[in-house]
Amino acid sequence: MQKIHQSTEYVITKVLANKGTIKGLTFNLKNLTENQRKMVYKLSDRVIFFKPILEEIIKKSSLLRGTGHKYKKQRNLLLIFIYEFLFGQLKKKRAGEVISEKKIKYVLGNKPISKLILVHSSQLHSALARIKIQKKVFRDEDLVEQKETTSNKEGLKFPKYFRVNPFKATVDEIVQKLVLEKWVDLGSSASNTSQQNTTLQTGQNLNKEKNEKEISKENSTEKSNSNQIVSKSMICNVPEVNTKTFYRDPMIPSLLVLPPTIDLHSHYLVKQFLMIAQNKASCFPPLILSGMDGELIDATSAPGNKTIQLAGLCPNQKVYAFEKDFKRGKLLKQRVKQSKATNVEIRVMDFLASNPKEFPKVSGILVDPSCSGSGVHGKKWEFTEERIMRLSAFQHKILCHALKFPNVKKVVYSTCSIRKEENEDVVAKTLEASHVKGVFKLKRALKNWKRRGIEPYQKCVRCSHDDLTIGFFVACFERIQQNLDQVKKRRRTNKKKEKIIKNKEQNKN
Ligand SMILES: C[S@@+](CC[C@H](N)C(=O)[O-])C[C@H]1O[C@@H](n2cnc3c(N)ncnc32)[C@H](O)[C@@H]1O
C-alpha cells in the first residue's frame, strides 16, 4: 500500500496546486501496474472529494497539536491516512467492529504518521460523529452529498452516449444485439421534426455515414430562423433510470442514448470496440469536418475518440492523427488498432513542430487541444486563473498553426471548457492573427443548434448541461482567400503569362 499512498500523495499535491488533473497525473505515473494506477486514481478522487470533511476532522481533533505539530508538512499524506481510517479500507462496517492489527499494518504501514493516527483513533471517530450530528446526516455518502448535491442530482439527468463504431458494426446490428439482451429500442428520440425522423429511420450503417454528412450539410444550409423548433428535437430524450431502454440520438444516427446510471464499461460491445463511449457534444467537431475532400488532420488526438469518428465518417480519406504525449500516443495507437480504422496515420509528435508545407493535400483540420475541462462535471475548481490564461495562450498558438496549412479549407476548434478565455477569446485573438485576418472567416457551425457562442461569436456552438451534454464549445474557421504565398505565386505566374503575351505581340509587330 505504501507505493499507492505515495503516488496518491503526489497526485493530490499536484492537483491541489493546480498543476494537473487527477486523470492526467495518474496516467503519467511511472512504475505502476494498470491496477495500481486505477487504485491511485480512485483514492485520489475520494480523498479530494472528502477533503473538506477530512480538514474539519483534523481541526476538531487534537491531531496536529503538541508533538503532532511536526506532521503539518505531511498534510496530504495525513488526509490520505485519515480517509483510509474513517472512510476507506479501515472503516468500521458496524459499531464495535474490531479491525485486525494485521489489516491496520497492511493499510497504514509502520510509519510514525500511522502511529499518530492510531493514537488519536477515538478522537477521529468522535470528530466524525460530531460532524454527522451537526450536519444531521447518518451515512458518510450524505456528508459528501451535502456538498455536492447539485452535481450528484444532475448526474442522474444525463444520459450515457455510445457511438456505434462503423468499422465493426452497423447501427442495426448493435441494436439487434442489445435487443437480444432484453434491451428495449425506443427508436428515434426526435419528437417533432420530419428532418430528424426521416434521417433516422433509415438506420442502416452504410447510410449512417451518408446521413451524418447529410445532417452536417443540412446544418450548414438551413435557415437559422427555424432554430427554435429544430433545436428542440436535436436534444434527445433521456431513457428512464434503471431501465434497459435506449433511444437513437435525433441528431447523430450512430449515437445511442442509454440511461444515466448504466455502466457498460465492461460490456463486450464496449470492450470489443463495437460501441465507443463518447459524449454527444464531442461528436460535433468530426461531424462538422466531414464532407471535405482530400486529407484530414486531427492535431491533438489521444485518446482518439474524434479521430476514430472522423476516420469512420471519411473512410476513403487519410486522417493524420498527431499526439504529443508518448504515453497517450501509445494509447491512441492501441485504440485506433482496436477500432479497425485503417485510414489513420498516427504521428506521435508535437503538432506545432509539423511543417504545414509537407501536407499540401490536407483540406480539413480538427483542433481539440488540452483545456481546463470545466465543461465536464467537477473539474472547474481544479484550475486557477493563471492556468486558464496559460491554456488560452497555448490554444491560440495551436489553432494559429493549423491555420497555416497551405490548402486547408476548414479548421474546427473545440474544447470541453465553458470558460470564455478558452473559447470565444481564443477565436477572437486568432481571427486577428496576421496570417488569418482576411484569409479565414468564422463559419456558422451546426446552423440549427440553438445554444450559440457568447456575442458577437454566435457563429460558434456552445453546449451545456441543459442540452444533456457536457459543456462544450465549437468554432469553425473557413478559408475565404488563398494564403498570401499562393496569392503571390499566382500573381507571379500571371505576370509571366502577361509578359509572354506581350513579347509575342511585340514579335508579331
Ligand atoms: C483534449 S485531448 C484530445 C481528445 C481527443 N480529441 C478525443 O476526442 O479523444 C488533447 C490532447 O492533445 C494532446 N496535445 C497537447 N498539446 C499537443 C501538441 N502540441 N501536439 C499534439 N498533441 C498535443 C494532449 O496530450 C492530449 O492528448
User: What CATH code is carried by the domain that includes residue 248?
Assistant: 3.30.70.1170
CATH of the domain at 414: 3.40.50.150
Helix 34-60 × helix 140-155 angle, to 10°: 120
Both 291 and 401 in one domain: the answer is yes
Which ligand 1 atom lies nearest to the CA of residue 371? Answer: 1
Q: Is 505 a domain residue?
A: no
Q: Which domain holds residue 53?
A: 2-152
Nearest of 377, 418, 425, 474 to residue 157 by alpha carbon: 377
Nearest of 279, 277, 254 to residue 265 by alpha carbon: 277
Both 95 and 144 in one domain: the answer is yes
Both 294 and 443 in one domain: the answer is yes
Both 128 and 194 in one domain: the answer is no
Question: Binding-site residues for S-adenosyl-L-methionine, please?
Answer: 323, 350, 368
How confident is the prediction along the chain (509 residues), in pLDDT tens digits per residue? 888 999 999 999 988 887 778 888 888 888 888 889 989 998 998 898 888 899 989 888 888 887 777 778 888 999 999 999 999 888 887 777 788 888 888 888 888 888 888 888 888 888 888 888 887 777 776 776 544 434 445 555 789 999 999 999 999 999 999 999 999 998 876 543 333 332 222 223 333 444 455 555 544 433 333 333 334 568 777 888 778 899 999 899 899 999 988 888 889 999 999 999 999 999 999 999 998 999 999 999 999 999 999 999 999 999 999 999 998 999 999 999 999 999 999 999 999 999 999 999 999 999 999 998 888 855 445 577 888 999 999 999 999 999 999 999 999 999 999 999 999 999 999 999 999 999 999 999 999 899 999 999 999 999 998 899 999 999 999 999 766 566 677 778 888 998 898 888 888 87
Residues 458, 452 contacting (CB under 8 angstroms): yes
Residues with C-beta less than 6 Å from any ligand 1 atom: 282, 300-306, 322-325, 328, 350-352, 368-370, 398
Both 139 and 248 in one domain: the answer is no
Residue 176: CB atoms within 10 A of its CB come to 12
Element (H, E) at 277: strand 275-277
Q: Is 183 a domain residue?
A: yes
Both 343 and 393 in one domain: the answer is yes
Both 164 and 266 in one domain: the answer is yes
Both 223 and 351 in one domain: the answer is no
Catalytic residue among 283, 314, 371, 416: 416
Q: Is 491 a domain residue?
A: no
Both 104 and 211 in one domain: the answer is no
Please tell me the distance between residue 46's alpha carbon and the centre of ligand 1 in angstroms: 26
Q: Is 493 a domain residue?
A: no
Q: Is 111 a domain residue?
A: yes
Q: Is 509 a domain residue?
A: no
Q: Is 494 a domain residue?
A: no
Where among 152, 178, 194 does a domain terminate? 152
Both 458 and 385 in one domain: the answer is yes
Q: Is 503 a domain residue?
A: no
Where among 277, 293, 309 does a domain terminate? 277
For residue 314, give the DSSP letter: S
Statement: the pTM of the whole predicted model exceeds 0.75: no
Both 463 and 390 in one domain: the answer is yes
Both 14 and 126 in one domain: the answer is yes
Where among 235, 260, 277 does a domain terminate? 277
Task: Kindly list the distances between the CA atom of residue 355 and the CA atoms of 301, 358, 367, 405, 406, in Å, as whole numbers in the listed order.
Answer: 18, 6, 16, 8, 10
Any bridge partners for residue 473, and if so which?
415, 462
- Give the number of domains in the chain: 3
* 314 tagged catalytic: no
